[in-house]
Amino acid sequence: MKFDTPATNNPIDRLKVVGKPTDRIDGPRKTTGMAPYAYERHDVVPNQAYGFVLGAGIAKGRVNAMDTAAARRAPGVIAIVSTLDMPRLEKGQTNVAVLFGGPEIDHYHQAIAVVVAETFEQARDAAAMIRVDYARAKGRFDLAAEAAGAPLVGGDSEEGSGAPPEDRVGDFEGAFAAAPVKFDETYTTPDESHAAMEPHASIAAWEGEKLTVWTSNQMIAWGKRDLAKTLGLKPENVRIDSPFVGGGFGGKLFLRADAVLAALGAKAAGRPVKLALTRPLIANNTTHRPATIQRVRLGATRDGKITAIAHESTSGNLKDGKPETAVSQTKLLYAGANRLTAMRLAEMDLPEGNAMRAPGEAPGLMALEVAIDEMAEKLGMDPVEFRILNDTQVDPEHPERPFSQRQLVQCLRMGAERFAWANRNARPGTRREGRWLVGMGVAAGFRNNLLTKSAARVRLDSAGTVTVETDMTDIGTGSYTIIAQTAAEMMGVPLEKVVVKLGDSDFPASAGSGGQWGANNSTAGVYAACVKLREQVAQKLGFNSSEAEFVDGQVRAGNRSAPIAGAAGPDGMVAEDVIEYGDLAKRYQQSTFAGHFVEVGVDAMTGETRVRRMLAVCAAGRILNPKSARSQVIGAMTMGVGAALSEALEVDTRHGFFVNHDLAGYEVPVHADIPHQEVIFLDEVDPVSSPMKAKGVGELGLCGVGAAVANAIHNATGIRVRDYPIALDKLIERLPEPA
């Protein structure tokens, strides 16, 4: 199905199933431990052995030699494959780091061996017996030291966030110099880890030249393609299966060492191998969000109109890597005739930097939305009103291109009313409750809506059951449920008559889970397949498909009706289609918006920050399932608190590795850190987006939260911290004197 004109009325608009706050249909399996995750697929193939990955103990250099003799003699050891046993494997299309092979070491904990044994403990112990002779080389591990010489480099996160090396509209320098009110500050954000609950894990089994991998992966089609390329296999000889994923946040978008080394280990051992990366390897061997150094300059008239806006960002990555696209949202979020964005990329020898939830916008808004608050303070304006004054309904760089929907002002107005923003004291450091300094903060949320083709297969059997097959993944987001809701709405059957099968590369290739594109595009693919199936059913039952209604298990037209099951026959019916998009995304800017509001208390004696209240008001097209969408947003809000207050991969700049590479040292928020969270979805449909008229919310809920926390801390204390995370050591010596 080609979607190239805005959607009109269609069966989804009935909203009998879609749009309802529906419990997740996979919930009972998750809560009872019956949902099979990758490492637990004991049933899929017998005689599984255990693999353990050994990571490099240096960050730059080469392996001179490896002594595996003692490890091979260890109890239970079946096989060992070392990086010296083969040349460098070819990189997959989405990989920056080489995953295995050859003597060269490009980053710390690069995989250099896999040990296969009868038990996990035997494999782990044998791996510790391998003796490695390294030739260490000098590496580049400090972004601040490398930033000055970093060249201008453009990039695209392939998740809707991107910018050229430098982009100019109007005369920024001239307008900035002439502006009556100017602002110029630099902000830093640290390297961050995805820290998903489920580790990267795979089970691999060979049958001749055919390889099956049961794994934890967000993008099945990408994984199949890149695993085949990396191992030199025909794509048709590779099958990936990932029906349940225990969190990914972008860290499982790409092929990683667990799948590759499970396959290599299984080939060497002559039997299936299961393998999970340890927490240190997840931090240093997989991917992370790169650190940034960001400069924001704003010029405005005395009445608050922005006349000049510039955002420049520097990040680092391995050779051939991309920059963190932190300036992307600044190209679209606020009006202003004179504009400059630029990105610089330092080549470094740290582990691979790549997509983490809302790549680009998440760290970019942590700088921009604090700068907006600082400028509002300079102007003596309320931060909400300053943002509203500089709203735009068109792409500021291409004014002929309107937003398909843009309700940012409504988000901010409703949020301010709901959060009692009028009670905020504009003078920082003046509200006290006992030993707590209390403040409120606001930030705009922004995330682009990305359209990508997605396919599905839909079956109807003689019992009237509709089965959906697509390689879409559920990473804890509720994909099973919204896909079932879509099929039930389209085919006019109750939800319990829909079966959803996901995550298998033998199914049609979907959008996959990433970039906030999963829900809208995967359900649009199911919509397309259901349109085809409806046509077949109507034709079989003798109805005009354009007039037929599918309701309550019946097909109706005029005064005739017939049960949908009657069309299936003993062999059933099947239809398959793909949603593909025309040029609507070029003609209209498609984005999602939020107003984030946060109240914090800061201990006047210790500098400890406690988040007290949080509110997100979101405008993101049709909300397919308000219950699971709310869960996505509050999870993202929690992630934003972590980014603001605690999360940072600490770099050992001497030896080039992340020191706090486990969940004991890498501090994410826990239940006790998170107070009441409220989420409001504006009533919105966007017919330009898809037949579903939906967008996405999974990353919008994160974008801007860190800045709202930072702005609340400033309002509470009068202290402005521009280097994240805002831990108490950055506050304690600057706190106001006790009253």
Identity of the residue numbered 340:
L
Q: What is the DSSP string of 531-567?
A: HHHHHHHHHHHT--TTT-EEETTEEEETTEEEEGGGG
DSSP H helices, 244-360, are 257-269, 279-285
What residues form DSSP beta bridges with 201? Answer: 276
* One-letter-per-residue 3-state SS of 15-41: CCCCCCCCCCCCHHHHHCCCCCCHHHC
Question: Which one, of 622, 504, 733, lies nearest residue 10 by Cα?
Answer: 622
Sign, CA dihedral 79-84-90-94, equals positive
Question: Which one, of 70, 87, 74, lies nearest residue 132 by Cα?
Answer: 70
Helices 705-717 + 361-379 axis angle, to 10: 30
In 10 A of CB 597, how many CB atoms?
A: 28
Identity of the residue numbered 676:
H
Return d(Cα 655, Cα 660) in angstroms, integer: 14
Largest CA-CA distance found in the chain, in angstroms, rounded: 83
DSSP state of 496: G
* One-letter-per-residue 3-state SS of 519-530: HHHHHHHHHHHH
The two structure tokens encoding residue 727: 């831990």
Question: Which one, of 247, 236, 240, 162, lies nearest residue 197 by Cα?
Answer: 247
Return d(Cα 346, Cα 166) in angstroms, integer: 15
Return d(Cα 184, Cα 167) in angstroms, integer: 19
Catalytic residue among 121, 312, 699, 737: 699
Residues in the chain: 739
Return d(Cα 370, Cα 387) in angstroms, integer: 12
Give the CA-trace dihedral at 130, 131, 136, 139, to 10 degrees.
20
- What are the strands, taking DSSP E only, across 419-552? 432-433, 436-448, 454-460, 466-470, 498-502, 549-551
If you search the block for the tokens 């340890």, which residue do you land on?
Answer: 278
If you search the block for the tokens 């019956």, which residue do you land on?
Answer: 34
488 phi/psi in degrees, rounded to 5: -65, -45
Q: How big is the chain by its Cα radius of gyration, in Å? A: 27
Q: Are 687 and 7 in contact (CB under 8 A)?
A: yes
Q: Are 669 and 644 in contact (CB under 8 A)?
A: no
Return d(Cα 627, Cα 546) in angstroms, integer: 33
If you search the block for the tokens 């320098």, which residue do you land on?
Answer: 173
Which residues have C-beta within 8 Å of that of residue 99, sequence separation ≥ 6? Answer: 89, 91, 92, 111, 230, 255, 256, 257, 260
In 10 A of CB 95, how many CB atoms?
A: 21
699 catalytic per annotation: yes
Return d(Cα 488, Cα 479) in angstroms, integer: 14
The two structure tokens encoding residue 680: 């409001």
Return d(Cα 705, Cα 698) in angstroms, integer: 13
Catalytic residue ranges = 699
